[in-house]
């Protein structure tokens, strides 16, 4: 049974299109059942509390996220976006709900092993919710607690040879193009004479 009643959010499941609400409910149920026996490092009900908080925001017509204060990892000025709930007693699972940006690999080419490793890390130390890719191009990890930030950063950099993405207001994360295998414009550029300006480097 759901932890919070969500009649307003439930309406978003009634249309013909896929619903993020359905996805969140499925994730919340999976975390509750925990078939993989994961030793969650954030509250198991983080997604349920997220749904409850979102329902309250819909009801009140206002956000219940508050910003302020600095969170991050030692030596970095970006990569972590601090997010806190203004109703921590009602929704303790999302009292802290920080976002982490992970630098995408070159040309956004991944192996399945790499993606599985990232997802396993985030299931363990975060909410399990991701955004591939955010408007900055980064891999977005949605929702973790302050005490997990350094742990996640250490595993990213030491186990996966991966860096945080950017979250600055002037420069985010540079993105590159690997050429004709990736984009239609690159395929066209590769067939042009060498003197023609190219929009994207080709191999």
pLDDT 10s digit of each residue in the chain, 203 long? 789 999 999 999 998 889 999 999 999 999 999 999 999 999 999 999 999 999 999 999 999 998 765 666 776 667 788 889 999 999 999 999 998 888 877 767 778 998 999 999 999 999 999 988 766 678 889 999 999 999 999 999 899 888 887 766 666 666 666 555 555 554 454 454 444 343 434 44
Q: In whole angstroms, how far apart are CA 191 and each of 18, 68, 183, 184, 202?
A: 39, 51, 13, 11, 10
Count of other CB atoms within 10 angstroms of residue 184? 8
Indicate the pTM of the whole model: 0.81
Give the start-to-end residue ranges of the domains of the chain: 7-158
Instruction: Please give the pLDDT value at position 111.
Output: 86
Q: What is the 3-state secondary structure (H, E, C) of 79-141?
A: CEECCEECCCCCCHHHCECEEEEECCCHHHCCCHHHHHHHHHHHHHHCCCEEEECCCCCCEEE
Separation of alpha carbons 121 and 115, rounded Å: 10
Q: What CATH number does the domain located at 7-158 have? A: 3.30.70.2500
According to the model, what pLDDT value does residue 133 have? 72
pLDDT at 179: 57
């Amino acid at each position: 049974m759901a932890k919070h009643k969500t009649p307003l959010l439930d309406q978003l499941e009634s249309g013909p299109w896929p619903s993020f609400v359905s996805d969140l409910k499925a994730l919340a149920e999976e975390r509750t059942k925990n078939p993989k026996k994961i030793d969650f490092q954030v509250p198991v009900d983080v997604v349920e509390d997220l749904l409850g908080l979102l329902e309250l925001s819909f009801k009140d017509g206002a956000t219940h996220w508050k910003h302020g204060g600095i969170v991050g990892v030692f030596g970095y000025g970006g990569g972590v976006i601090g997010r806190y709930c203004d109703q921590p007693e009602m929704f303790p699972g999302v009292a802290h709900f920080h976002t982490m940006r992970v630098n995408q690999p070159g040309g956004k080419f991944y192996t399945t092993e790499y993606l599985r490793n990232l997802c396993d890390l985030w299931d363990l130390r975060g909410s399990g919710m991701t955004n591939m890719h955010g408007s900055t191009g980064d891999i977005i990890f949605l929702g973790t607690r302050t005490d997990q930030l350094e742990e996640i950063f250490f595993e990213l950099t030491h186990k996966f040879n991966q860096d945080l993405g950017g979250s600055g207001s002037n420069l985010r994360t540079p993105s590159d193009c690997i050429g004709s295998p990736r984009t239609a414009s690159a395929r066209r550029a590769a067939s042009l004479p060498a003197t023609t300006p190219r929009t994207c480097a080709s191999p």
